[in-house]
């Protein structure tokens, strides 16, 4: 869910854009991260751990913990918490470790 009214902050959002998450269409706004757009659509399970396949979500949101690595436009291991969403982007949850492109 997005915050529409806030007692202290004003949010200036960019143009509305669309991208896909595991084939499903999701919308976001220019200037926000992929993780923010996914959370706004209540998508919190981003991928799975590569050995035991436990669900993985966001943790640090500053690009340091590697919990949110996903495949974006075919490139594996993208830190979606520090990567901005773009129109037409293909975002996929990453089950294996991510191979060489």
Structure tokens at 58: 């966001």
Range 5-24, binding another protein (CB under 8 A): 5-9, 11, 13
DSSP of 7-39: SS-------EEEEEETTEEEEEETTSBHHHHHH
Q: Binding to another protein by residue 61, rule CB under 8 A?
A: yes
Instruction: Return the residue of 30, 55, 66, 95 that touches another protein, per CB under 8 A.
Output: 55
The maximal CA–CA distance of the chain, rounded, in angstroms, is 47
Report, in Å, the least distance between residue 80 CB and another protein. Answer: 12
Give the strand order in the sheet containing 90-92.
Answer: 24-29, 16-21, 90-92, 69-72, 75-79
| Residue 27 touching another protein (CB under 8 A) | no
Site residues (vs another protein, CB under 8 A): 1-3, 5-9, 11, 13, 32-33, 35-36, 39-40, 44-46, 49, 54-65, 67, 81-82, 84
């Amino acid at each position: 869910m997005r915050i529409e009214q806030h007692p202290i902050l004003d949010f200036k959002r960019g143009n509305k854009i669309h991208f896909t998450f595991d084939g499903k269409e999701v919308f976001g706004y220019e200037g926000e991260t992929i993780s923010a757009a996914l959370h706004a659509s209540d998508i919190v399970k981003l991928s799975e751990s590569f050995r035991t396949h436990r669900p993985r979500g966001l943790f640090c949101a500053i690009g340091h913990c590697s919990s949110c690595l996903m495949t974006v436009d075919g490139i594996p291991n993208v830190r979606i918490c520090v990567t901005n969403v773009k129109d037409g982007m293909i975002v996929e949850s990453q089950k294996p470790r991510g191979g060489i492109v």
